Amino acid sequence: MADLEQEHRTPGVNESMPGTPAVGTEDDGSDDQDIKVPDARQWSKKYKLFVSFCAIFSYFFITFATSVYIASVPGIMMEFRISETLALTPITFYAIGFVIGPMCTAALSEEFGRQYIYKISLLLHVVFTCVAGSAQEFRTIAVARGICGIVGSPSVTVFSGLLNDLWKMPEDRIGGLLFAVYGIFGAVASEVGPTAGEAIVRDRDWRWTFWLTAMLVGACFLALVTVPETYGPEIRRKKLNLPRRNLLHCIGPAFSRPFQLLIMEPIIFPTAAIVTMGQVVVFVFYAAYPVVLEEVYGFSSYQVGLAFTPLLIGSLFALPIISMVMKRRDKNSNPQPEDSLPAATIAGILLPISLFWLAWTAREGIHWICPLIAGAFYGLAFALSQLVYPLYKNEVYGAELGASSFAVDVAMRYTFSSVFPLFTVQMVNRIGFNWTISLCAFVLLALAPVPVVLQKYGPTLRARSRYVPKHKDNSSQSLSA
């Protein structure tokens, strides 16, 4: 572990980087005291905010592309004369790409730096989105969407590492707030997509969901194309002209690191299971909402898209709750990562309750507003869970392994959620909307005790972990961020 910490040590700074305002430098720890190594954390606050928001919006638009496609399904069914299940498969292909990309490139970014990974990722995403939008055959759409998922997904986890490079968390409150916004945007993006997609398809046609995505992601690429490297060890290697590690020797450990965390760390799997199940339910909504709202309440496609708005509204309320929890945490003289988990406890209670509420009120004789209000409470709980657990694990594992821990979340989320749209409609037709949603609620009910257990036993688990960096003050047995 000592070797790992030394390898990923982020040096300080005191000199200007190309394309950035003046920055600080710090001795790199070598024998040559005159050599100063740049540090992205010493860039000007304005420039760091600019880069951070570019990263946040890039994450938002890449995730937004998952669900905005929903609005194109009716048009694709009509133009290519295919079934609804087949028309939904590009959602699955795109999501599967989120399994492949992050597991490979998150750890590689910790070995070779961030900038080339996310810049190439954004550029290729734009290219293949345009290929899908101009397709004259359905199979072209399916293949292009799958490639978009693979090439676009690395930017999702790499950008969480970029925020770690720019801000020292949790000590830097601005960085903590930005990471919270990053998490909220990831949750909100999957809920905004259907509403925005239906609006643009209504005035244009189904291809405009692709053109819109390409324009938004392309704008993020142009904003980030001149941003230099932010990852400390890679900056140090370039500044001191050190030899790069042999790719063949480090590619195995880089790819296996997320799997090692998943298997060896008791914190990783249960928290990843909760965020995974939360996203599974959202993907179930993509396929089930049109069925129940059109059949029971006679909603149009546009109204079905608007039905995702309560999810969005509920998600936005997660930020003030997180803010209150963090203010309470700041009052502690020795704050611990587990101090943020009360918000996860709230989410653990609301997730199954809101789903049972939704499942048994979406029926004839009950006004449509009742299930939609339940959706708002689910949106709140979903956003809290999607935000708190990555924040918690980012603080536990730090900048060194934070991207790898987030890659586990992303890979699990999309491994399971990607396949659900393919059989959700059949489930709803076979056992009904109420029992389909109730099955999801029962799973989340079983996972509800996880944050309570972590609050009690988290310090012990961290102290025993070989992956968690320790404070210099070992007497406190607290863990560094």
Domain ranges, ordered by start, for the chain: 19-25+34-464
Cβ partners under 8 Å of residue 364, min gap 6: 296
In whole angstroms, what is the distance from residue 335 CA to residue 37 CA? 31
pTM: 0.74
- Six token digits for residue 391: 């924040």
How far is CA 345 from each of CA 102, 408, 443, 454, rounded to the nearest angstrom?
28, 21, 16, 10
The pLDDT value given to residue 320: 86
Mean pLDDT taken over the chain: 80
Residue 227 φ/ψ, nearest 5 degrees: -75, 130
Please name which of 348, 42, 50, 402 lies closest in space to residue 226, comparing C-alpha atoms.
Answer: 50
In whole angstroms, what is the distance from residue 357 CA to residue 139 CA? 39
Query: Check: CATH 1.20.1250.20 for 19-25+34-464?
Result: yes
- Six token digits for residue 6: 């030394």
In whole angstroms, what is the distance from residue 114 CA to residue 201 CA? 35
H-assigned helices in 113-172:
115-133, 138-152, 154-166
In whole angstroms, what is the distance from residue 397 CA to residue 393 CA? 6
Handedness of CA 386, 387, 390, 396 (dihedral sign): negative
Percent of residues in the chain assigned helix, strand, coil, to nearest 5: 75, 0, 20
In whole angstroms, what is the distance from residue 400 CA to residue 101 CA? 19
**Residue-wise pLDDT tens digits, 210-227:** 999 999 999 999 999 999
462 in Cβ contact with 392 (< 8 Å): no
**Residue-wise pLDDT tens digits, 355-378:** 999 999 988 889 999 999 999 999
In whole angstroms, what is the distance from residue 65 CA to residue 334 CA? 41
Please name which of 459, 453, 467, 474 lies closest in space to residue 397, comparing C-alpha atoms.
Answer: 467
User: Which residue in the block uniquely carries the two structure tokens 């398809």?
Assistant: 201
In whole angstroms, what is the distance from residue 309 CA to residue 195 CA? 7
Cα Rg of the chain (Å, integer): 22
- Six token digits for residue 23: 């920055």
The pLDDT value given to residue 4: 40
The pLDDT value given to residue 254: 62
In whole angstroms, what is the distance from residue 394 CA to residue 479 CA? 11
- Six token digits for residue 130: 């345009």
478 in Cβ contact with 395 (< 8 Å): no
The pLDDT value given to residue 296: 86
The pLDDT value given to residue 22: 39
Instruction: Return the beta strands (E) in 412-470 as ranges.
Output: none
pLDDT-flagged residues of the chain (< 50): 1-33, 471-481
User: Which residue in the block uniquely carries the two structure tokens 């699955």?
Assistant: 92
**Residue-wise pLDDT tens digits, 129-168:** 999 999 999 999 999 999 998 888 877 778 877 888 888 7
The pairing of strands 25-27 and 36-38 is: antiparallel
Amino acid identity of residue 321, one-letter, is I
Q: For residue 412, is it left (φ>0), alpha (ψ between -120 and 50) or beta?
A: alpha
The pLDDT value given to residue 31: 45
- Six token digits for residue 475: 């007497």
